[in-house]
Each structure stands twice: as C-alpha cells, then as structure tokens.
Structure 1
Amino acid sequence: MAEDKRIILTAEPDHSGDIEITPAVLEVVLGIAAQQVDGVYAMRGSLANNISSLLGKDSHGHGVKITTQDDGQLLADVYVYLRYGVSVPKVALAMQKSLQEQLLFMTDLQLAQVNVHVEGLVPEKESKPDPDALFKDQDDPDTDEDDAGEAAHD
C-alpha cells in the first residue's frame, strides 16, 4: 500500500502550478513495467487484489510498495514470482534497470533503490494426457506382429 504523501514533480521556474503524483500511481507504473520483464510470472497480490481481479478490476500496482525517505529519495520494493528455469540474478537486475528507466521516463523521478523480493518460482504447466487416448486402439506395428505370431501357432 502506498503512503498517502503526494510527490511533487519539479517544474520549470515559469510554471503555472504544481504537479503532484500519488505513490499509488507510481506503483501502477512500476507494476506494469515489472510484469513486462522476461522471466517474471506474476506479481504478489493481496486477497483484496485477487478478489478485485475476479470482478474484472485488475490492479497493476499490487506487488509494488513505494516509500519516500525523509530526504525525499524514493525506494521501491517489488514482490514477484518468477518462471522456473530463469536466472534469478539476471531477471532481478533486468527488473531493477527497467523499473528505474521507466519511472524516470514517465515522471522524471529517480529511484534510489529497487529491492526485488522473489516470492517463489512457478514451473510451466504441463499438458495433461487425454485419458481416452491412453487406452485407445491404435494401428500399432507391434500388435500386428503379435497377431501374426498367434496365427502361426494355430
């Protein structure tokens, strides 16, 4: 959950007003960027996010927490599930780089830290065998030879 403290973007000296962004918006930006990194299976979500997702309201910010330090630096904690078989350090480094670049591009804000928390690895789902096909009669060359052998014995 994001802090309620709004982040004010720096503007040109001749600006006509302030630009404020809530940390929740930054979490959504980082959540979408994290999901696009190769090797990421899913983001960690809370029960409320899972229920919202079932109702058709997808929350891209779940799995990301933004904190603002007293000196104004932004820290991001990202909680992810990775695909089994990927190099965890490579995916984590790619995620750190991607999230920093995306936030800088979209908001001109810099992240002091991106802490990647790997919550688990998810193996690929294997297709289940069709039970009807397991015992289905097939034209198998081995069965033809057996039939021929039985005919020879008669």
Structure 2
Amino acid sequence: MDAIQKLENGDIKISEDVIATIAGVSATDVKGVAGMSGGLVGGIAEILGKKSLSKGVKIDINDKGAFIDLYLIVEYGVRIPDIAWEIQDKVKTIIQTMTNLNVIEVNIHIQGVAFPNIKEDDPQQKQSK
C-alpha cells in the first residue's frame, strides 16, 4: 500500500519502493553498516546486474503509519545496540522529513558481520599465527 496524503489541491501518493529506497540509503549512510542483506532473490538480482537501493528493506504502511524492517550486515567491531539505535533514529527522521509519513517502528535485523580483508602479505597477520 502506497503512502497517500490528501491535500487541498489533490492527493500525493508515495510508492513503497520510494520509501524503501530512502530507508536503505539512510541506513547504509550510518558508519559501521557494511551493507544490506537482501536474501537469495536480492543476491541473484545483483549478480544479474540489477542493483536495488531498497534491498534489505521491508515496508508495511497502514492507516496508522509506516512499519519498517531493515536487514543489515554490520562491520566487525561495532557495538550493535548503539548502531541499531542510530539507524532507527536516522531512518525515522529522514523518512518523516522527506515524506511527512508517520513512522511507527523501525525494526533492525542484523543478518551478518563483515570482517576486514586479511592479506597473506600482512606481517602482523603472520605474527599472530
């Protein structure tokens, strides 16, 4: 269901895909977020060259407002509760500012942890073996 706002001069309809894109871009802009987790279908679409800015975002809009679920991959070493709170606040604020849509919930689902690349030529890595 799209977000619909009734105004004096007519209606404004904002697609769920637009809201999902705003949420995905806002979330990945937070330091410590490695990316979105789109599952098997999203991964296949990316392999085929179709990159989706709304990957890893589920939107449900009803008469009360928007419920948003974000499926994320975080960088190794971040404090997950802190980054989750920051993402929730940022996504809610940006969506409400850009669309005037009431955001009821922003649920964070951590799907994985991205580790830094370990190079065989790195002397510090060889010492720790």
Bigger relative contact order, structure 1 or 2 (CA pairs below 8 A, ≥6 apart): 2
Aligned pair 1:101/2:86, yes or no? no
CA shift, 1:24, in A, is: 1.7
Normalized per residue, the structure richer in strand is 2
Unaligned runs of 5+ in 2: 123-129
| Partner in structure 1 of residue 5 of structure 2 | 9
Aligned pair 1:45/2:38, yes or no? yes
Aligned pair 1:59/2:52, yes or no? yes
> Which structure is larger by alpha-carbon Rg, 1 or 2?
1
Instruction: Determine if contact 2:42/2:55 at 8 Å carries over to the other structure.
Output: yes
Give the whole-Å Cα distance in 2 for the aligned partners of 1:94 and 1:67: 21
SS in 2 for 1:65: strand
| Partner in structure 1 of residue 15 of structure 2 | 22
| Partner in structure 2 of residue 33 of structure 1 | 26
CA shift, 1:10, in A, is: 4.0
Taking structure 2 as the reference length, the TM-score comes to 0.85
SS in 2 for 1:59: coil
Q: Which amino acid aligns with 1:54?
A: I
| Partner in structure 1 of residue 112 of structure 2 | 120
Give the whole-Å Cα distance in 1 for the aligned partners of 2:68 and 2:84: 13
Aligned pair 1:78/2:76, yes or no? no
Instruction: Determine if contact 2:33/2:74 at 8 Å carries over to the other structure.
Output: yes
Taking structure 1 as the reference length, the TM-score comes to 0.72
SS in 2 for 1:18: strand
After superposition, the C-alpha distances for 1:84-135 in whole angstroms (9 at most, x for unaligned) are 10011110011001101110121111211101111122211122228xxxxx
How many residue pairs get matched?
A: 123
- Where in structure 2 are the equivalents of 1:129-140 lying within 5 Å? 129=121
| Partner in structure 2 of residue 90 of structure 1 | 82
| Partner in structure 2 of residue 133 of structure 1 | none
| Identity level (%) | 33
Q: Which amino acid aligns with 1:38?
A: K
| Partner in structure 2 of residue 152 of structure 1 | none
Unaligned runs of 5+ in 1: 131-154
| Partner in structure 1 of residue 127 of structure 2 | none
